[in-house]
C-alpha cells in the first residue's frame, strides 16, 4: 500500500509560525508533525509515502535528505502551481507511478484511525473511493457527509461502513443532517485519477466526491477514533497536550537540553531542545520551541513561542498568542490573543 500525503498548504491560520515553515514540519512534542503521520501509516502496512509538496518543499527535502521518514521511503512530488486537493492528488500519484489502490491523507490531521480495517472494508465493497468520517460537536464549521441508512451498511469492528448519499457544506448547527464530517483520510482506486483533469485546480471534496456519490461508487466509514485537525492555534496546542496527559500517550515534555529553573512552574507544557524557563516564571498549556526563552518572573499560558523567541522579565503572553521565530516580547509587556509579528 502506498499513501499520498497532502502537505502543500500555506498553513495561514498558524502564522507567524508557518511564515517560513510548512505546518507539517512544525514540531509536536519531540518531532515534526509529519513524522507522527507517517509513523501511524507504517503501523498499517504502508510501504511508501508520496509527499504532495507546494509551500517550501525544501523544508522536507532538507529534513529527509536520504529520502526516508521514520524508515519509510519517500517520493517528493512538487506541484508547479497550486492545483487544489484533487489536482494535487492526481499530480503526486501520477508522478510516483501509482497504479494500484492507494491512500490519501491530509498531512495536518493527527488520528488513530484503523487504516487497515478501512482498506479491507473498501476492497470488500468494490467501491471506487472510501472516505473516513469523524463525529464533531459543531458541524457548522465543516462539510457534513450523509450516509444512506438502508443499503446494507457493514460493521467493521468499531467502525460502520455505508454508501455516501450526499454532502452539506457548513450547515447551521440546528439544521445539520448529521454530525459526521470528512476526516481527511481516503482509500482510492487509480481509476479515480482519470476523472481529474490534468493541469487545473480541482477540488476532491467539491467535485470528485460528489460525482462518485451520485453514481453510488463512494463509501464512507464512520470512526470514533482519535482525530484532530491541527490547523488552528488551539488545536496545535491540543495536539501537544494530548500526548502529555494520556489522551493519546504519555511523552516526555522536557527535552534533555532544555533548562527549567527550580522555582519555575511548568504544567502541561512542552519545552523543546535548547529552550529555557527562568526563575519564578510560569509556563502552562504552552509550547516553547527550540531555543525559546522565558525570562525570570514571566508568564506564558495557552500560547506558542517559536524558535529562539524571547519573553522578557515579568512579561505575560496569554490567550493563544503565537510568537514567531526570533521575536521578542519586552520586559513587563502584556500580550493577549496576539500574533508577533502580525502579518495581517
Percent of the chain's residues with pLDDT above 90: 72
Has residue 149 got a pLDDT over 70? no
Residue 34 has phi, psi (to 5 degrees) of -60, -30
For 10, 76, 224, 229, 245, the CA distances from 238, given in Å and listed in that order, are: 20, 29, 18, 10, 10
Q: pLDDT tens, 56-100?
A: 999 999 999 999 999 999 999 998 888 899 999 999 999 999 999
Out of 3.90.550.10, 3.90.950.20, 3.40.50.1820, 3.40.50.1980, which CATH number does the structure's domain 2-230 have? 3.90.550.10
Kindly tell me if the per-residue pLDDT of 152 is higher than 60. no
pLDDT at 4: 96
- Give me the residue label for grid cell 487497515: 116
* 184 upstream amide cis, omega within 30 of 0: no
Nearest C-alpha neighbor of 28 from the set 19, 17, 20: 17
Q: What pLDDT is attached to residue 288? A: 97
Q: Is the dihedral of CA 181, 186, 192, 193 positive or negative?
A: positive
Q: How confident is the model at residue 212 (pLDDT cuts 50, 70, 90)?
A: very high
Dihedral over Cα of 24, 169, 237, 310: its sign: positive
Q: Which three cell numbers stand for residue 324?
A: 514567531
CB atoms within 10 A of CB 322: 25
Instruction: For residue 272, give the nearest of 26, 20, 107 by alpha carbon.
Output: 26
The yes/no answer on whether domain 252-340 falls in CATH 3.30.70.990 is no
Omega prior to 16 cis, within 30 of 0: yes
**pLDDT average, residue stretch 13-32:** 93
Question: How far, in Å, CA of 252 to CA of 270, rounded?
Answer: 8
Domain boundaries of the chain, sorted by first residue: 2-230, 252-340
Average predicted confidence (pLDDT) for the chain: 91
pTM above 0.75, yes or no: yes
Q: How confident is the model at residue 141 (pLDDT cuts 50, 70, 90)?
A: confident
- Contacts for 303-311 with beta carbons within 8 Å, 24 or more apart? 304/17, 304/233, 304/236, 304/237, 305/275, 306/16, 306/17
Amino acid at each position: 500500500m502506498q499513501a499520498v500525503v497532502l502537505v502543500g498548504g500555506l498553513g495561514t491560520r498558524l502564522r507567524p509560525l508557518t511564515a517560513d515553515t510548512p505546518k507539517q514540519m512544525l514540531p509536536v512534542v519531540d518531532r515534526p508533525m509529519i513524522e507522527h503521520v507517517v509513523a501511524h501509516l507504517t503501523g498499517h502496512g504502508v510501504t511508501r509515502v508520496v509527499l504532495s509538496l507546494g509551500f517550501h518543499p525544501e523544508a522536507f527535502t532538507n529534513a529527509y535528505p536520504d529520502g526516508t521518514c521514520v524508515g519509510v521511503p519517500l517520493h517528493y512530488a512538487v506541484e508547479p502551481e497550486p492545483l487544489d486537493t484533487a489536482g494535487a492528488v492526481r499530480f503526486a500519484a501520477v508522478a510516483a507511478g501509482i497504479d494500484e489502490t492507494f491512500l490519501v491523507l491530509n498531512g495536518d490531521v493527527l488520528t488513530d484511525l484503523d487504516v487497515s480495517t478501512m482498506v479491507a472494508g473498501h476492497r470488500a465493497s468494490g467501491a471506487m473511493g472510501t472516505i473516513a468520517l469523524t463525529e464533531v460537536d459543531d458541524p457548522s464549521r465543516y462539510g457534513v457527509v450523509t450516509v444512506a441508512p438502508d443499503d446494507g451498511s457493514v460493521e467493521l469492528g468499531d467502525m460502520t461502513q455505508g454508501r455516501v448519499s450526499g454532502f452539506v457544506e457548513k450547515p447551521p448547527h440546528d439544521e445539520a443532517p448529521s454530525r459526521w464530517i470528512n476526516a481527511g483520510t481516503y482509500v482510492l482506486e487509480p481509476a479515480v485519477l482519470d476523472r481529474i483533469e490534468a493541469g487545473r485546480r480541482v477540488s476532491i471534496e467539491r467535485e470528485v466526491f460528489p460525482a462518485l456519490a451520485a453514481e453510488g461508487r463512494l463509501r464512507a466509514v464512520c470512526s470514533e477514533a482519535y482525530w484532530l485537525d491541527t490547523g488552528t492555534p488551539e488545536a496545535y496546542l491540543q495536539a501537544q497536550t494530548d500526548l502529555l496527559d494520556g489522551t493519546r500517550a504519555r511523552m516526555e515534555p522536557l527535552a534533555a537540553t532544555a533548562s527549567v529553573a527550580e522555582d519555575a512552574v511548568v504544567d502541561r507544557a512542552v519545552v523543546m531542545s535548547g529552550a529555557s524557563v527562568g526563575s519564578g516564571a510560569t509556563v502552562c498549556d504552552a509550547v516553547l520551541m527550540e531555543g525559546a526563552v522565558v525570562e525570570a518572573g514571566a508568564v506564558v499560558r495557552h500560547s506558542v513561542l517559536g524558535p529562539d523567541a524571547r519573553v522578557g522579565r515579568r512579561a505575560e503572553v496569554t490567550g493563544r498568542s503565537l510568537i514567531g521565530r526570533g521575536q521578542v516580547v519586552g520586559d513587563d509587556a502584556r500580550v493577549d490573543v496576539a500574533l508577533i509579528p502580525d502579518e495581517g
